[in-house]
Amino acid sequence: MLGVTDESAIAHRYRLLAPHLTEHELRMWAAVEAASYGEGGIATLARITGIRRRKISRAQEELHIKPGANTPANPADPQPADSKH
């Protein structure tokens, strides 16, 4: 988990971006920020932005961010082959 300074930096970025992004774009941004924040990221971003936790979580699903991951998964990456010998 990051510190208070990091939370104020996130809040600052939110204040800069919010007037220029659609609601959907803000949810996507919050989802990525929450993933990069790490443990407690969704709750922290919800508190800072006022976006509901479930909406941030759904945005992470839409972006293929795995729970607990620090970065989005790339759906274009090849999946490991099953070894059925």
Asked, for residue 70, whether it belongs to a domain, the answer is no
Cα–Cα nearest to 44, from 82, 75, 4, 79 = 4
pLDDT, mean of each 10-residue run, the chain (85 residues): 78 97 98 94 97 98 84 52 45
Residue 57 inside a domain? The answer is: yes
Predicted local distance difference test score (pLDDT) of residue 35:
95
In a domain, 75, yes or no: no
| In a domain? residue 81 | no
| Residue at 79 is within a domain | no
- Per-residue pLDDT, 1: 55
- The residue segments making up the domain with residue 28 are 4-62
